[in-house]
Structure 1
Amino acid sequence: MGDLEVPRREVGLEELRDANYSLNPGQFLVPGSTVIDQDEAAERFRASVAYVARLTLSGRRIDDEVMALAGELVAQGLEEGTQHNEWLRAPLDTLCAVQPGPSKIPATDDGEGVPVVTAKQIRNRRIVDEDLQRTTAEFAASMPQYRLMPGDVVCVRTGTIDRVAPARERHTGWLFASGCVLLRPGDRILPSYLMHYLSHPQVVQWVRRSATATVLPTISIRKVRELPVLVPPIERQREIVGLLDALDEKIGVHAGMLRAAREMHASALGALLGDTAPGTDR
């Protein structure tokens, strides 16, 4: 089995006595105890209240926008213009540049290095900043074809291959890793429309069917280029993405509200009750 690290610690006679001489390891091998600083918890609670208030206002604005856009589409008929003669069906590589990620990117511990988007940063149609890898500015400068621009769409092609996210202004100059592929749309297709189209359940099924059946499913760049895309006129694309973008924003606000409410709950307990650890002097 090798050198297995077994959790252990010394327990004094007084602690055993307080535990009624129980020899249950779980009673003593708990993760390090947390001491509640009531003032700090109160400060976190006040910050949470302010943050939730801002999210609530944003949520109301977005809710109004979603209902207005949805109402317009319902009024004109959701099927109006759907797959009309003016709609095209074309392979993906005729609509945008398709660029696979580099085979290897040197990492740096320098906090000032250039961020690298990997598959784990692409979640819920967003590029998240958690656990970012970085590379040197020198390497990034030598690889302009792998640097992101606003309007690019980044897809995961290895592992969970149905994730996709748009690059925003703040991602300008970032790189993307080998498990991803960059799509740079041309004039005939809006970046946001392409992103939402790639999230369509039937498109997701096509991508999964086209992947190689290995431990880590991978879709080849050739298959990515062949992916058939339904392309409405630009004005219809704008109508479609107006609602879908607003819904994505709504999803993001509600996810943030959930996280903030949980933080508010935890900080409220600390602020209102203080340290409740057994044996704590009151």
Structure 2
Amino acid sequence: MELRPGYKRTEVGVIPEGWAVTTLGKVAQFRTGPFGSALHKSDYTADGIPVINPMHIIDGDLSPSAEMSVTEEAARKLTDFRLKAGEVVLGRRGDMGRCALVQRKHEGWLCGTGSMIVRPGSAIEPGFLSRILSSPSVVASIEQTSVGSTMINLNQGTLRSLLVQLPPVSEQRAIATALSDVDALLTQLDRLIAKKRDIKQAAMQQLLTGKTRLPGFGGEWQGVGLREIATFRTGPFGSALHKSDYTFDGVPVINPMHIIDGKLVPTAAMSVTESAAQGLSEFRLRENDLVIGRRGEMGRCAVVKRESDGWLCGTGSMIVRTIGSVDPSYLQRVLASPSVVSAIEESSVGSTMINLNQEVLGSLTVQLPAFEEQTAIATLLSDLDAELSALKARRAKTRTLKQGMMQALLTGRTRLP
């Protein structure tokens, strides 16, 4: 392939002519975290000086845990391992690529046994260094050369010999700033998502209990037993389906794992032939049915939409079919609410895995407003769900954009003004 003007071929690929290639050992120093024997049981305390191991390096930031911290006295004995602003802390065990720039707020924290401190020299910008060390190409290179049969273990020798591309420092700084701006946007979206989720939870708590009424609605709510307003059908025994009945991309079988955030999310591998599904017609889902997970984590519940009509209720699920003036979408919200989930968990059977049966479900009492109010509540909560989904989609798109930016900027394929 012909080179673009202003680019050259190197050991790390095609990069701009003004960039250099060097080993990391020439532009940075390293210090592996202390041996485990350097810290004793008596050194640990709650909410002390955080100890940073790979598990605490998340999405380019340091997230300490209160129980993994030591006394100030213990930390003073390990001065060489205390973090300073502008350093990079890197996980050296397990998943490679866990890497974070040490900020001023992290100063004095302790590098753990499973981590390593990378101290950049004047030729490499700290923010750029952290991006390079977490980039897919560098992670792949580390994984190929690191030791460990069951768990990758990164050592200083591997890092010293690592080849990296090096733009001028001013360009390194610009690249790091551009990527940090995207990180800031992701953080802002995370806060918006958390806030919207809290609003939704509060709305559910208020609206589903009648503590808050929507404008235009009044009148008393009725407490009714669930068996008075719905019928139940437990999914077929596992023996009803044979190995030969399964096929790829056939009629979906819905087990609890396929009920996610109030929606049915089938997998192509968990499906059966049409003839097998016809033989189990009483377990086929109908539009506006509810399907609820009856094993494991309670609260998994979804309304069957038109596109899911005819799918098959799996062994681990149960069909709830409403009777009379009950809005299925409202009932789904009730069955997934914390208070009902708690009641189910207290009443269900199973020593290691909760198992919901028809008797437990039918004995539940739910609060039921008039049908019109049920629909209004369900609609408002669905609108909140849509807003939350839009924020999550925006975050996912921004994260994908960031990955593309990293690849383009760190290789010089895209240059900043």
The interval holding the TM-score normalised by the smaller chain is 0.5 to 0.7
- CA distance in structure 2 between the aligned counterparts of 1:150 and 1:126, rounded to whole angstroms: 13
Q: Could you tell me which amino acid in structure 1 is paired with residue 407 of structure 2?
A: G
Q: Which runs of 5+ in 2 are unaligned?
A: 1-141, 159-195
Tell me by how many angstroms 1:255 deviates. 2.3
Preserved CA contact (<8 Å) 2:334 2:340 = yes
Identity, % of aligned positions: 24
Q: Could you tell me which amino acid in structure 2 is paired with residue 99 of structure 1?
A: R
Query: Which structure 2 residues correspond to residues 111-122 of structure 1 after superposition, within 5 A?
Result: 111-122=248-259
Could you say if the C-alpha distance between residues 23 and 179 of structure 1 is closer, same or farther in structure 2, counting changes exceeding 3 Å? closer
1:232-266 CA-to-partner distances (Å, cap 9, x unmatched) read: 11111122112111112222222222222222221
Partner of 1:151: 288
Query: Which structure 2 residues correspond to residues 180-259 of structure 1 after superposition, within 5 A?
Result: 180-259=317-396
Q: Structure 1 residue 106 and structure 2 residue 237: aligned? A: no
Tell me by how many angstroms 1:132 deviates. 4.9
Preserved CA contact (<8 Å) 1:106 1:135 = no
- CA distance in structure 1 between the aligned counterparts of 2:249 and 2:213, rounded to whole angstroms: 50
Tell me by how many angstroms 1:201 deviates. 1.9
Query: Which structure 2 residues correspond to residues 157-196 of structure 1 after superposition, within 5 A?
Result: 157-196=294-333
Q: Could you tell me which amino acid in structure 1 is paired with residue 226 of structure 2?
A: L
- CA distance in structure 1 between the aligned counterparts of 2:407 and 2:147, rounded to whole angstroms: 29
Tell me by how many angstroms 1:109 deviates. 5.4
Could you say if the C-alpha distance between residues 266 and 148 of structure 1 is closer, same or farther in structure 2, counting changes exceeding 3 Å? same
Cα RMSD (Å) of the superposition?
Answer: 3.4
Tell me by how many angstroms 1:198 deviates. 1.1
Tell me by how many angstroms 1:274 deviates. 4.2
1:167-191 CA-to-partner distances (Å, cap 9, x unmatched) read: 1111111101111111111221001
- CA distance in structure 2 between the aligned counterparts of 1:201 and 1:83, rounded to whole angstroms: 25
- CA distance in structure 2 between the aligned counterparts of 1:84 and 1:132, rounded to whole angstroms: 49
Preserved CA contact (<8 Å) 2:233 2:318 = yes
Preserved CA contact (<8 Å) 1:91 1:229 = yes
Q: Could you tell me which amino acid in structure 2 is paired with residue 106 of structure 1?
A: H
Partner of 1:91: 225
Could you say if the C-alpha distance between residues 239 and 268 of structure 1 is closer, same or farther in structure 2, counting changes exceeding 3 Å? same
Please say which structure displays the higher CA radius of gyration: 2
- CA distance in structure 1 between the aligned counterparts of 2:405 and 2:342, rounded to whole angstroms: 45
The 3-state SS of whatever aligns with 2:247 is coil
Tell me by how many angstroms 1:90 deviates. 1.5
| Larger RCO: 1 or 2 (CA < 8 Å, sep 6+) | 1
Q: Using structure 1 for the length normalisation, give the TM-score.
A: 0.66
1:22-64 CA-to-partner distances (Å, cap 9, x unmatched) read: 9844359x9xxxxxxxxxxxxxxxxxxxxxxxxxxxxxxxx9x
Preserved CA contact (<8 Å) 2:252 2:268 = no
Preserved CA contact (<8 Å) 2:248 2:270 = no
Q: Could you tell me which amino acid in structure 1 is paired with residue 406 of structure 2?
A: L
1:53-105 CA-to-partner distances (Å, cap 9, x unmatched) read: xxxxxxxxxx9xx9xxx9xx9xxx934688843x2222112212211100123
Query: More helix by proportion, 1 or 2?
Result: 1
Q: Using structure 2 for the length normalisation, give the TM-score.
A: 0.46
Could you say if the C-alpha distance between residues 109 and 221 of structure 1 is closer, same or farther in structure 2, counting changes exceeding 3 Å? closer
Out of 133, 136, 139, the residue aligned to residue 276 of structure 2 is: 139
Query: More strand by proportion, 1 or 2?
Result: 2
- CA distance in structure 2 between the aligned counterparts of 1:118 and 1:255, rounded to whole angstroms: 25
- CA distance in structure 1 between the aligned counterparts of 2:226 and 2:358, rounded to whole angstroms: 11
Could you say if the C-alpha distance between residues 149 and 275 of structure 1 is closer, same or farther in structure 2, counting changes exceeding 3 Å? farther
- CA distance in structure 2 between the aligned counterparts of 1:89 and 1:186, rounded to whole angstroms: 15
- CA distance in structure 2 between the aligned counterparts of 1:215 and 1:232, rounded to whole angstroms: 37
Q: Which runs of 5+ in 1 are unaligned?
A: 1-18, 31-62, 277-282
State the number of aligned residues: 215
Could you say if the C-alpha distance between residues 89 and 129 of structure 1 is closer, same or farther in structure 2, counting changes exceeding 3 Å? same
Could you say if the C-alpha distance between residues 239 and 95 of structure 1 is closer, same or farther in structure 2, counting changes exceeding 3 Å? same
Q: Could you tell me which amino acid in structure 2 is paired with residue 227 of structure 1?
A: L
Preserved CA contact (<8 Å) 1:91 1:225 = yes
